[in-house]
Amino acid sequence: MDWEPLLLTFKLALVTTLLLLVISIPLAYWLAYTKSRIKPVLETLVSMPLVLPPTVLGFYLLIAFSPSNTFGNWLNEYFGLQLIFSFEGLVIASILYSLPFMVHPIQAGFSNLSSTIIEASYVLGKSKIITLFKVLLPNIKPSLLTGIVLAFAHTIGEFGVVLMIGGNMPGKTKVASIAIYDEVESLNYDAANWYSLILFIITFSILLIVYLVNGGYLKRFWK
C-alpha cells in the first residue's frame, strides 16, 4: 500500500488547522463581541461551507485561481503562486471549507464567558490583548480543543473541494479520500479498504479524545 496519500492528508490537515487557528481567534473574537451591523453577513459567510456543496466552493475557487483569470494571473505574477492543482491551493481551499468548524466553537466559547470577567480585567488596567491571552483564551480551552479537532478531522474528510481544485496528482494533491475513490474506480477494493479503515480508526480516536478531555473523564482517571 502507498502511504503517500495518508501522509499528505495529515500534512494538509495539520497546516490547515494551524493557519485556521491563527485566523479564527481574531475572527471569532470579533464576531462574539462586535455590535456592527455587518455581523450577520459575516456570520453567514463563515457558515456557508456547512450547507454549500463542496463542489460549488471548489468550482469557484478553481475559476478564481485559474491563471487565465485576472486574480489567478496576479497571484502567479506577483507571488509566483499557482493555486490550482497544487498543495498551497489545497490549503487555502481547506481553510475556507473548514472555517465554520473552527470559528463556531471558539465564538461560542467567547460568548459564554461572563462579560464581567472581561470588564474586571479592564478595570485592573489590562489591555484588550492581555485580556485575550491571559483571561479569555485560558478560560475557553475546551472550545479551542473542539475547534482544533473538528477542523482537523473535517479537513481529513474533505473530498469535493480537493477534487475540484487539486485534482489527483500523486504526492501533491492526491489525499487519502481521493486515493480511496481512485482505488475503487480501478476495482482495487483491498487498497481502498485499507485507506478507509485507517481513516476510520484515526478520526474515531481523535474525536474520542476530545470527548474524554472535555467531559473531564481523563482528569477523573488520573485522580
Partner 1 sequence: MIHIALQKKLTAANGTMLLDININIEQGKLVTLYGESGAGKTSIFRIIAGLLHADKGIITVHQNTWLDTDKGICLKPQQRKIGFVFQEYALFPNMTVKENLLFALEKGQDRQIIKELIDIIELGELQNRKPKNLSGGQKQRVALARAMVRKPEILMLDEPLSALDTKMRAKLQDYILKIHKQFNLTTLLISHEIGEVIKMSDHIFSIKNGKVVKQGKPIDVFSTKQVSGKFQFSGEIIEIKKEDVIYVITILIGANFVKIVADETEAQTMAIGDKVIVASKAFNPLLQKIN
Q: Considering beta carbons, is residue 90 or 140 the nearer one to partner 1?
A: 140
Q: Nearest approach, Cβ of 109 to partner 1 (angstroms)?
A: 13
In this structure, are residues 21 and 150 in contact, taking their beta carbons and an 8 Å threshold?
Answer: no
Give the one residue of 11, 39, 126, 172 binding partner 1; rule: CB under 8 A: 126
Interface with partner 1, residue 121, by CB under 8 A: yes
* Binds partner 1 by CB under 8 A, chosen from 134, 170, 208, 215: 134
Q: Is 120 in the site for partner 1 (CB under 8 A)?
A: yes
3-state secondary structure string across the chain: CCCHHHHHHHHHHHHHHHHHHHHHHHHHHHHHHCCCCCHHHHHHHHHHHHHCCHHHHHHHHHHHHCCCCHHHHHHHHHHCCCCCCCHHHHHHHHHHHHHHHHHHHHHHHHHHCCHHHHHHHHHCCCCHHHHHHHHHHHHCHHHHHHHHHHHHHHHHCCCHHHHHHHCCCCCCCCCHHHHHHHHHHCCCHHHHHHHHHHHHHHHHHHHHHHHHHHCCHHHHHHC
Site track for partner 1 across 188-207, x = CB under 8 A = --------------------
Does the protein bind partner 1 through residue 177 (CB under 8 A)? no
Residues 6+ apart with CB under 8 A from 125: none
Binding-site string for partner 1 from residue 137 to residue 166, where x marks contact by CB under 8 A and - marks none: -xx---------------------------
Among 124, 169, 197, 209, binds partner 1 (CB under 8 A): 124
Q: Is 219 in the site for partner 1 (CB under 8 A)?
A: no
CB of 209 to partner 1, least distance (A): 21
Q: Does 125 bind partner 1 (CB under 8 A)?
A: yes
Q: Does 220 bind partner 1 (CB under 8 A)?
A: no
Place of cell 482505488: 183
- Of the candidate spans 11-19, 59-67, 132-140, 142-150, the one that interacts with partner 1 by CB under 8 A turns out to be 132-140
> For binding to partner 1 (CB under 8 A), which residues are involved?
114, 116-117, 119-127, 134-135, 138-139
